[in-house]
């Protein structure tokens, strides 16, 4: 795979060099084992956008697995995400550029391999999410196309021939297996044999007969063999990619993209949050911030707000994180200056505040220095940059607090009882910090009708998880506004008194 700045004539160049089975070039099947890297030129733009789209699908899968969605829910959510970001149409589909779909799927898989091969943890998570995606697509595929795909790949198993089936040991072993499974039709199946280490899942579930290092797998379990093969190959190729990666280090176009993508698994998909869609019809004044913090801020911002109120001070990165958040919330620079001045109170003179702090606030608003429009920090940035020291308050509490401190804070700040914290702490332990934060959102917004698993909202079967503190606050405010509007719009109650209609609002 080569990257280029301009969009190349890919179909033409591939067509010239590869064996065409159809106009789909190297992609005759929907399913792909990704054995061969993309051979054509890829623009840097496609390199990144394709990978981000795939990451959206994988992030939803990972989130569903952590949140114990049922297999059917997982299937529906994944297919909905695939339809939106990574569609793969059947060979019979017409009027669709199937080549472009399959190329995107192929390239995005290889980009994520590059991004996630660097640590064992990232490799493990990618393998799990990719294998789940493959399983769902496999089950969803057309039967004939799936068989054609299986016929096209070289798998490490062989059909057990009639002669071998007559062997006394094998016959007795398969009979014992049939008795164990209580399935007398078991012996009528076709069997494949493969080294038993290739099918640990079937061995663990005692679904196969083992003999001389071979596992005898009935054809009805063939999908398990396929999934195991997919997983084994991916694990192996990820390790190979990790060894080859240092050679990419000098590429200053790709490394930042890969760094950015690999953070996506730690902090969810990079946020697209650009600002509130709704200004909620009010100007936020400095005096309103206490109330907003109490009702709508995520834990990172509540923590900064509470520290500021308690200590009457925040260190540099805390001030920066909080100021940019308030700016994106809709607090004007004038109100921000009033807010911070009051917050510091008598701990400093007006002179000191004006010289040292007011400038920084105005700088964050792009009114001083480089006059850059600094965006509010996303979860990804907060989670992965400027790790807080022991006396600092910025960062994400789900990542940067000790488990004991986090549990105490969840109880004290949001009143979340210990029994409800188990799932949150399990997500934190698995480093799924944004999922933990999403669960807190659900619990603290149950009063607005938010249910477990709904996150910040659902659209097209996919659940929005927390990826930006300002998105958290905006959604929280939306829910409050919706509830207020519903209360106002309640129909008038008609009461009849002695034949006269009296309307009560």
Residue showing tokens 């089950």: 139
3-class secondary structure per residue, 67-124: CCCCHHHHHHHHHHHHHHHCCCCCCCCCCCCHHHHHHHHHHHHHHHHHHHCCCHHHHH
Select the span of 80-88, 247-255, 279-287, 292-300 touching ligand SF4 (CB under 6 A). Answer: 292-300
User: For 148-301, where are the E strands, in sequence order?
Assistant: 158-159, 191-195, 209-211, 214-218
Give 10-13's long-range contacts (Cβ < 8 A, gap of 24+): 10/40, 10/41, 10/103, 11/99, 13/40, 13/41
> Using an 8 Å Cβ cutoff, are 191 and 218 in contact?
yes
Residue showing tokens 């900064």: 304
Rounded CA separation 211/209 (Å): 7
Rounded CA separation 466/19 (Å): 45
379 in a known ligand binding site: yes
Sign of the torsion angle spanned by Cα atoms 258, 264, 269, 274:
negative
What is the per-residue binding string for ligand SF4 in 300-319, x denoting contact by CB under 6 A? Answer: x-------------------
Please, which residues have CB within 8 angstroms of residue 347's CB and are 6 or more apart in sequence? 312, 313
Nearest one of 354, 380, 177 to 263, comparing CA atoms: 380
398 binds ligand SF4 (CB under 6 A): yes
Rounded CA separation 146/276 (Å): 45
Query: Which of 78/380 has CB closer to ligand SF4?
Result: 380
What is the per-residue binding string for ligand SF4 in 440-479, x denoting contact by CB under 6 A? Answer: --------------------------x--x--x-------
User: Which residue of 437, 443, 450, 462 would you call a contact of ligand SF4, by CB under 6 A?
Assistant: 437
Residue 445 CB, nearest distance to ligand SF4 (Å)? 14
Neighbours of 236 (CB within 10 A): 10
329 binds ligand SF4 (CB under 6 A): no
Select the span of 17-25, 225-233, 256-264, 391-399 touching ligand SF4 (CB under 6 A). Answer: 391-399
Binding-site size for ligand SF4 (CB under 6 A) equals: 14
82 in a known ligand binding site: no
300 in a known ligand binding site: yes
User: Which residue of 61, 178, 320, 396 would you call a contact of ligand SF4, by CB under 6 A?
Assistant: 396
Query: Which of 25/268 has CB closer to ligand SF4?
Result: 268
299 binds ligand SF4 (CB under 6 A): yes
User: Which residue of 30, 296, 434, 475 would you call a contact of ligand SF4, by CB under 6 A?
Assistant: 434
Query: Which of 137/434 has CB closer to ligand SF4?
Result: 434
320 binds ligand SF4 (CB under 6 A): no
469: region left, alpha or beta (phi > 0 left; psi from -120 to 50 alpha):
alpha
Rounded CA separation 184/9 (Å): 58
Select the span of 45-53, 390-398, 476-484, 491-499 touching ligand SF4 (CB under 6 A). Answer: 390-398
437 in a known ligand binding site: yes
Q: How far apart are the first and last CA of the chain?
A: 68
Select the span of 57-65, 164-172, 396-404, 416-424 touching ligand SF4 (CB under 6 A). Answer: 396-404
Rounded CA separation 70/77 (Å): 11
Query: Which of 402/460 has CB closer to ligand SF4?
Result: 402
Select the span of 49-57, 325-333, 337-345, 393-401 touching ligand SF4 (CB under 6 A). Answer: 393-401
Query: Which of 164/464 has CB closer to ligand SF4?
Result: 464
Count of residues making up the chain: 505
> Using an 8 Å Cβ cutoff, are 474 and 278 in contact?
yes
Residue 300 CB, nearest distance to ligand SF4 (Å)? 3
| C-alpha angle 472-299-373 in degrees, rounded to nearest 5 | 55
Select the span of 196-204, 215-223, 384-392, 432-440 touching ligand SF4 (CB under 6 A). Answer: 432-440
Residues of this chain that interact with ligand SF4 (CB under 6 A) are 298-300, 379, 382, 396-398, 433-434, 437, 466, 469, 472
Extract the annotated binding site for [4Fe-4S] cluster: 300, 379, 396, 437
């Amino acid at each position: 795979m080569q990257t280029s700045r301009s969009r190349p004539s890919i179909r033409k160049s591939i067509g010239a060099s590869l064996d065409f089975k159809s106009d789909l070039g190297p992609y005759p099947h929907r399913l792909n084992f990704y054995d061969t890297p993309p051979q054509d030129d890829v623009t840097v733009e496609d390199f990144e956008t394709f990978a981000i789209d795939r990451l959206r699908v994988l992030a939803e899968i990972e989130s569903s697995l952590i949140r114990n969605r049922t297999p059917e829910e997982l299937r529906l959510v994944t297919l909905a995400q695939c339809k939106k970001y990574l569609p793969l149409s059947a060979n019979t589909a017409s009027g669709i550029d199937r080549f472009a779909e399959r190329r995107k799927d192929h390239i995005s898989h290889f980009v994520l391999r590059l991004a996630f091969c660097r640590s064992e943890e990232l490799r493990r998570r990618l393998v799990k999410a990719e294998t789940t995606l493959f399983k769902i697509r496999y089950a969803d595929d057309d039967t004939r196309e799936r068989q054609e795909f299986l016929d096209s790949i070289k798998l490490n198993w062989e059909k057990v021939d009639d002669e071998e089936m007559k062997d006394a040991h094998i016959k007795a072993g398969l009979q014992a297996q049939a008795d164990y499974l209580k399935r007398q039709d078991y012996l009528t199946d076709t069997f494949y044999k493969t080294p038993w280490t290739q099918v640990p899942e079937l061995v663990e579930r005692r679904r196969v007969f083992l003999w001389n290092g071979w596992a005898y797998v009935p054809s009805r379990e063939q999908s398990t063999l396929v999934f195991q093969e997919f997983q084994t190959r991916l694990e192996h190729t990820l390790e190979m990619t990790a060894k080859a990666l240092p050679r990419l280090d000098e590429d200053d176009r790709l490394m930042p993209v890969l760094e950015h993508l690999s953070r996506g698994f730690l902090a969810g998909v990079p946020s697209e949050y650009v600002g509130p869609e709704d200004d909620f019809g009010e100007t936020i004044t400095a005096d309103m911030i206490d109330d907003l913090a109490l009702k709508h801020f995520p834990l990172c911002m509540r923590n900064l707000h509470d520290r500021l109120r308690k200590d009457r001070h925040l260190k540099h990165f805390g001030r920066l994180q909080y100021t940019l958040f308030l700016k994106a919330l809709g607090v004007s620079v004038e109100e921000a200056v009033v807010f911070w001045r009051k917050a510091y109170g008598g701990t400093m003179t007006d002179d000191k505040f004006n010289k040292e702090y007011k400038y920084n606030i105005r700088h964050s608003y792009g009114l001083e220095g480089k006059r850059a429009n600094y965006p509010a920090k996303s979860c990804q940035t907060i989670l992965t940059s400027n790790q807080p020291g022991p006396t600092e308050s910025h960062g994400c509490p789900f990542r940067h607090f000790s488990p004991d401190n986090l549990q105490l804070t969840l109880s004290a700040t949001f009143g979340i009882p210990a029994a409800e914290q188990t799932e949150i702490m399990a997500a934190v332990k698995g480093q799924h910090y944004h999922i933990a934060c999403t669960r807190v959102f659900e619990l603290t917004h149950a009063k607005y009708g938010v249910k477990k698993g709904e996150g910040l909202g659902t659209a097209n079967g996919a659940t929005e998880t927390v990826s930006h503190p300002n998105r958290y606050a905006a959604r929280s405010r939306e829910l409050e506004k919706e509830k207020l509007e519903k209360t106002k719009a309640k129909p008038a109650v008609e009461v009849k008194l002695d034949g006269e209609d009296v309307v009560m609002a």
